[in-house]
Structure 1
Amino acid sequence: MRNEVRQLRALQGLSQQALGTALGVSRQTVNAIEQGRYDPSLPLAIRIARHFGLAVEEIFHADDA
């Protein structure tokens, strides 16, 4: 699954640690999501979307779409 987390985080000037703290996850989790090595749970995906003020579908994209 592709995602826009890295780009959105950079636009807000946040470090991975700062975003992780805001979301209640570790820096390593943020890194794994950005690298595409980890697909977040639905509750975490919703927290990420709410943090950036976007819909989940605007951040996360299925590989076949």
Structure 2
Amino acid sequence: MKNTIKVERAKLSITQTELAQQVNVSKQTIHSIETGRFVPSTLLAMKIARFFKTRVEDIFELEPTD
């Protein structure tokens, strides 16, 4: 699953740690999501989208192999 979390973080100039604190997960979880090694739960995806004031589908995109 592709995502634009890193791009969205850059727009706000926030670190992985800062985002992690805002959505109550570890920095490692954010890193794993950004690199595609971990697919977030629906709840976490919604929290991330809400933080960035956008829709889940604007942050996360299914790849043909998903």
Q: TM-score range by the shorter chain?
A: over 0.9
Q: Report the Cα distance in structure 1 between the residues aligned to 2:59 and 2:34, rounded to whole angstroms.
A: 11
Aligned residue-pair number? 64
Match of 1:19 in 2: 19
Identify unmatched segments of 5+ residues in structure 2: none
- Determine the structure 2 residue equivalent to 1:34: 34
Kindly state the Cα deviation for residue 52 of structure 1 after the two structures are TM-superposed.
0.4
Q: 1:47: Cα distance to partner?
A: 0.2
Q: How far apart, in 2, do the equivalents of 1:44 and 1:16 lie? A: 15
Whether 2:56 is the aligned partner of 1:56: answer yes
Identity %: 41
After superposition, the CA RMSD in angstroms is 0.5
User: Which 5+ residue runs of structure 1 have no aligned equivalent?
Assistant: none
| Off by >3 Å, runs of 4+ in structure 1 | none
Provide, for residues 3-61 of structure 1, a one-character-per-residue CA deviation record: whole Å limited to 9, x for no partner.
Answer: 00010011111011000000100000000000000000000000000000111001100
Q: TM-score, normalised by structure 1?
A: 0.96
